[in-house]
Chains A and B, each alone.
Chain A
Amino acid sequence: MIAVLALLAGVVLGVWLDPSVPAALQPYLPIAVVAALDAVFGGVRAKLDRIFDDKQFVVSFISNVLVAALIVYLGDQLGVGGQLSTGVVVVLGVRIFGNVAAIRRHLFRA
């Protein structure tokens, strides 16, 4: 409940402030958002599995975001930033799909 409220508050804040992304962060922000989404879906799944842990969620959230941004940064430095960010997105997408499938099994028993 708090999580949903916090998410809504963040959305409202983003709409209200309407900031512009700094140019230095522009390649990393989408990847970070996808990584955070992966962590959130994993957290929802763990909650439904009744194995949710706060600390683990926080750590995994932050590390997911940081690692994803680091990989993209490394790829940019190596000159394969586009391909590497695509790869990160694919991996995270696969994980998100797996988590969503688990959530679906929990919710709908199917």
Chain B
Amino acid sequence: MSEEQTETGTGWPKPADPERPAGPGGEPDPRPDAPDPDELSPLVPRTEPAEDGAGAEPAEGAAAVSSGDGAAAPAGGGRSRVSTASVMIAALLALLGFTLVVQLRTTSTDPTAGVTRQEDLVRILSDLDARENRLRQDIAGLEESQRQLRSGEQGRQAALDEATRRADELGILAGTLPATGPGLAVRFESGAKPISATRVLDAVQELRGAGGEAMQISGGDRASVRIIASTYFLDGENGSLVVDGRRLTGPFTITVIGDPATMRTALNIPGGVVASVQGDGGNVIVEDREAAEVSALHAPIKLEHARPVS
């Protein structure tokens, strides 16, 4: 058994251990100021100092002696016990170093989870919950402001569309934008007398009264003039017509956008434009157009005196 015990363990070298005190107990405490027994280490044998003496462990000692090791004196039995205990101590200390390092590494690699207890985890969790709530509120507020901005943008877009539409309408009325749509082409062919400006002006006013929205007048050389509110007509030389300062030669064609039936009716009323021109010996040819093109432009009028009221 002594051999087995010396060979057990983890293969640590058998300690010579010459410095071991022969008798651990029995010595009086050398320190003058010996502390209270309660403060002493549990290793200090105070109650039974002689317990660990030479023959203090009958079972082991007897086994060692009775193992038949002839050379084994009581000192030999003590030696085997010492080596067994040394192996145990070495194993325990190795375990201590191992766990110490493991614990240190665990704590250093994961400083939160390793040493965190349940209540700390609960506190961390509640902190995270509160933080999540705050962030959720932030998200809600930001989404609200995003929605407001988006609706504001939509309102702005609608206002812009409205303004654009209005600008287009006004541009068509003022003659600064080309226009297209259903309408008429009214062609004046002069007879013996040239077409007078009065007739043309009558025709323009008749067309306006019948709902004509955009008009232009073209001469024989394809020159076109947009007819707007301030357009004037003068009789020129040799049967020509001066429209807004431009000289047009016959035959003249008025292209108008509006309801064709209404305007045709307006031109053909008895004593109206057609009748007057035919009375002068000329002729008026009215043609329906699916898409009458009013492409001549009038330069924008610069207002010097009038200001919008707003």
Contacts and interface: CB of A to CB of B under 8 A. Distances in A.
Interface of A: 1-3, 5-11, 13-15, 18-21, 26-27, 29-30, 32-33, 36-37, 39-43, 45-46, 49-58, 60-62, 64, 76, 81-82, 95, 98-99, 102, 105
A32 B25 CA distance: 28
B52 A56 contact: yes
A14 B52 contact: no
Q: Interface size class for chain B? A: 35 or more
Given A45-B41, A45-B43, A61-B92, A50 B101 contact: no
B21 A98 contact: no
Nearest to B21: A50
A49 B29 contact: yes
Contacts of B115: 30
A16 B74 CA distance: 42
B105 interface: yes
Contacts of B90: 2-3, 5-6
Contacts of B106: 20-21, 26, 29
Q: Which 7 A-B pairs have the closest CB atoms?
A: A10-B97, A54-B85, A42-B41, A14-B101, A10-B94, A6-B90, A10-B98
A3 B27 contact: no
B95 A10 contact: yes
A14 B92 contact: no
A58 B87 CA distance: 10
B38 to A, nearest CB: 10
Contacts of B119: 82
Contacts of A20: 106
